[in-house]
Amino acid sequence: MTPGVSSPRTRQQRGPSRQRFDPTRVVLIAVASAGAAGSLCWTSLTGFVEPHAALAFGVLVALGELARITLPGNREVAPIASAGAIGYTFLVTIGGEPVHHSPAQVIAVVAVGLAVGELPHVAVGRTPRWSDLARRLLIVAIIAVAFRPSTLWLEPSGPHWGYKLSMMGALVMLVWLVDSAIAAAIRAERLRTRFTVAYRDEVRALLPIGLAVGASGILIALASSVMGLVALLVFTAPLLVTQVAFRRFAEIRLTYLQTVRALSRVTEVGGYVETGHSRRVSRLAQAVGCELAMRESDLLELEYAALMHDIGQLSLRDPIPSGATVLAPPREQRRIAELGSAVIRETGVLDSVADLVRRQCEPYMGDGDDGPPPLGSRIIKVANAFDDLVGESKDRDRIEAVLQRLRMDTDREYDPAVVEALASVLNRPAPRWSGVRLLSGTPLGSGGSPSMAEPAQEGARDG
Largest separation between any pair of C-alpha atoms in the chain:
83
Task: Report the alpha-carbon distance of residue 430 to residue 20 in Å, rounded.
Answer: 9
Neighbours of 32 (CB within 10 A): 22
92 alpha-carbon distance from chain centroid: 36
Residues 6+ apart with CB under 8 A from 38: 104
Residue type, 4: G
Q: Is residue 361 a contact partner of residue 331, using CB atoms and an 8 Å limit?
A: no
Could you tell me which of 96, 100, 97, 118 has the C-alpha nearest to residue 36? 118
Q: What is the pLDDT of residues 235-245, one digit of tens each?
A: 777 778 877 87
Q: What is the dihedral sign for C-alpha 348, 350, 352, 354?
A: negative
Third-level CATH fold of 265-453: Hypothetical protein af1432 (1.10.3210)
Per-residue pLDDT, 160: 61
Q: Which residue has the higher pLDDT, 430 or 403?
A: 403
Of the chain, the percentage scoring pLDDT greater than 90 comes to 31
Q: What is the pLDDT of residues 14-64, one digit of tens each?
A: 333 344 567 889 999 999 999 999 999 999 998 889 899 999 999 999 999
Q: Is the pLDDT of residue 433 over 80?
A: no
Instruction: Determine the angle formed by the axes of helices 23-46 and 130-147, rounding to 10 degrees.
Output: 50
Q: What is the pLDDT of residues 252-305, one digit of tens each?
A: 878 877 888 887 788 877 777 888 888 899 999 999 999 898 988 899 899 989
Could you tell me which of 206, 215, 183, 223 has the C-alpha nearest to residue 94? 223
